[in-house]
Chain A
Amino acid sequence: MSDLTSRTPKLDRRTVLGTLAGAASLPLWARHAGAQTAEPIRIGFQKHATGIGAAYGRWYDRTSQAAVARINAEGGINGRPVELITEDDGTDPKRGAELVEKFATQHRCDVAFGTLFSHVVVGSAPRAGELKLPYFVVSEGHHVASGMLNRYTLQPGITDVKSQVISMAPWVTQNLGKKVTMIFPDYAFGHDHRDFFTDAVKAQGGEVVGLVAIPPTETSFTRYFPRIPRETEVIYHVMVGPAVLTFVKEMGEFFGPSRPEIFGFIDSLEAVDLASPGLEFLEGTYFWEGAPRYAQADQSEHDRLFRAAVGVDANGASVDDPRDVSTYAHMFGCWETLYVIKAGMEACGYRGPQDRAALIEAVEAMTDMPHSAEHPQGAKVFNGRTHQVFGPQFISRVTEGRLVVQHQTAIKDGFYPDEVDYTAQPL
């Protein structure tokens, strides 16, 4: 859009609208004719099409396609169209690493993008670093900001677990209780929750009285619940994968009418309809949401635009099929990351793979990202040294079968001291 408007000497509303309408009526090649090359910018997208992350993969794909369609309709990046090269990583770290290689060598992608599950990120990032392929992840793991990965891996579209739990722990301990039992998946992502939330609760004068780790492939959970100590005031649960509905349902069966307060990460119910049989007991419990699944009374115009573009209704389900519930709390990260890639490429005048290092530096130079159509979840602050973005979090209560936001954290609530300075690493 920038090169379309820059040629307009006197910019008034009517001229801009006229130019845009004219551009929209041209075929795609003509719109990008002003660029040095009409060759598309290729973004390799690791999609969890199969395996335990499939529900996320489906919605990450829809969100990314919607963002790319919007970016292309606005003139692409540096006047060039954007093309997503999608491959299934099977939610498998080994295949993830193979895909990174495939994107770099076979598909000649400019960047790699998109994956959620932290073990796939951890498996893929070293190969991206070796191939010097910018790798934009939309995970929540703390691995980027902890310094475990490399300078080519960035997380500019979604806040990490450490920041999420630090920002919400004060609300949980002050409003729900100070004796917490945690139920979490027994791998990297769950361990981030265990470690950082335990510390955050202690810092608030609370105590974690029970830790229940569950293998990620588990399909039956009742056997784990007797380990919850009786003095528990708050259950903190976060589960992922295809069995999440079973997990929440069996938790309800276990507690019956006398449950403690329950605070869950929406991961335990992403892509699951709150009206599913057996979930009635969730009424009155609380959830973390990265972005509120149900359109709230004070919904922003940006959220409205984002929902419409991706095809999500006010209940967070597909407009085509109300039973197809989205992964709304995470998928905005794909949209926002693609706009960060666009902003970074435009800032460094990206031409091709020879400018990958310049792209990394351009993204590292970013700081404030205002609440906008490009960042519909909320304003964000990017830390170029740790390659991690920070944003607001939402605590919602299940009220009459809907998630209603009770509290929104401030961005600064989630800040913590830097653990790495990637800018000191060579490019």
Chain B
Amino acid sequence: MEFGPHLMLAMIEGAVMAAVLALMASGLSLVFGVMRVVNVAHGEFYMLGAVAAWVVTDLVGAGPAWSFAAALILAPLCIGTLAAAIDMSVLKRLSYDPERTIVATIGLLYILQQATLMGYGADARPVAAPFDTRIALPWVEWAQGGLALYWPWGLSVTAYKLFVIAAAIVILLGLRLLMTRSRIGLVMRATRIDGEMALAFGIPVERVYALVFGLGAGLAALAGVLVVPISQAHYLMGGDALLLSFIVVIIGGLGSLGGTIVAAILIGMGEGIVSVFFSPTLAKIIATLLVALVLVFRPQGLFGARAR
């Protein structure tokens, strides 16, 4: 494949990855930002989203478009509710102590993974995309009569992949509006800045925490639902996603939503391009190296605020 179309294909692949990663990592970042909880089970909520999407589409069975729309709404809601319940029954009892919550969420990771294995099984299962038209992309070349369009071999994207990118942008904009313009966002920010003072002002901090944990898990589940028509639902899919999300939030700055999104684009696009032109292993090496450099030279992340 020629260089130009090859690069464009790499960028499209990278953009899809960045979109999914941004959604997932913003959930992780939100939970840390407000609650100071490092949620190691975040990847499993992503996996549960994908598995729930399969379950819902299988139960609804009303054609790909309707089934998928149902999954897009029901799966994040169910997973979010489950996460809120977990927050109230586990994390609250640990008083959100940073060390103990890490151990608790590691345990949660294994419980969720093994429960999925027992209930759903070890197979990877596909979910039909609501629409999946292949769109051949044009490229410009110098011909004798000046610029001319042509359709290079292999240069294409599917309508669904474009939808994933668009959906992620819309959801992230919505999240930003929720955080900056709504009363719930105001309460969350107040809780983040000083939990005790917020409590003194009558904000039900425990309920806010449950809501935030549910929202974070819901965002991961939403990423899982969006990814499942591209790459199937499998009980082990949470591991890689968690690793990449951590890389993203460390580079972007734990707790910084803007930083998370910039880092997701950086890592997603970088991984897409490097793994197309060189190798996926090299892309992972570079991402990990970047994390190390950020931790050495800017421990709070590119956009994170210094600890006070």
Contacts and interface: CB of A to CB of B under 8 A. Distances in A.
Contacts of B17: 220
A222 B230 CA distance: 11
Nearest to A222: B13
Interface stretch (A67-75, A251-259, A283-291): A251-259
A243 B154 contact: no
A245 B126 contact: yes
A306 B247 CA distance: 51
Contacts of B281: 215
Contacts of B126: 245-246, 276-277
Contact of A253 (B117, B158, B237): B158
A183 interface: no
A246 B122 contact: no
Contact of B124 (A50, A242, A277): A242
Nearest to A276: B126
A242 B13 contact: no
Contact of A225 (B154, B234, B236): B154
B280 A218 contact: yes
Interface string B64-97: 1000000000000000000000000000000000
A54 interface: yes
Contacts of B222: none
B232 interface: yes
B156 A220 contact: no
- Report which residue of B129, B232, B237, B281 has the largest number of chain A beta carbons within 10 angstroms of its beta carbon: B232
Given A220-B13, A245-B126, A226 B231 contact: no
Contact of A246 (B64, B134, B230): B230
A122 B272 CA distance: 34
Residues of A in contact with B, size category:
20 to 34
A242 B232 contact: yes
Contacts of B121: 54
Nearest to B158: A253
Contacts, number: 79
A226 B9 contact: yes
Contact of B276 (A58, A215, A226): A226
A269 to B, nearest CB: 12
Contact of A277 (B1, B9, B132): B132
A254 B154 contact: yes
A217 B237 CA distance: 10
B288 interface: no
B124 A51 contact: no
B10 interface: yes
A219 interface: yes
A278 B131 CA distance: 11
Given A226-B9, A245-B124, A256 B136 contact: yes
- Report which residue of B64, B122, B129, B154 has the largest number of chain A beta carbons within 10 angstroms of its beta carbon: B122
Nearest to B272: A223
Contact of B122 (A54, A223, A243, A256): A54
Given A253-B134, A256-B154, 17 more contacts: A49-B122, A54-B121, A54-B123, A57-B122, A58-B123, A217-B240, A218-B280, A220-B17, A226-B9, A227-B1, A230-B1, A230-B153, A242-B236, A246-B230, A246-B231, A246-B232, A254-B156
27 contacts: A50-B122, A51-B122, A54-B122, A57-B122, A58-B123, A220-B13, A220-B17, A220-B230, A222-B9, A223-B10, A225-B154, A226-B1, A226-B10, A226-B154, A226-B276, A230-B1, A230-B153, A242-B234, A243-B231, A243-B232, A246-B126, A256-B156, A276-B126, A277-B128, A277-B129, A277-B132, A278-B132
Interface of A: 49-51, 54-55, 57-58, 215, 217-220, 222-223, 225-228, 230, 242-243, 245-246, 253-256, 258, 271, 276-278
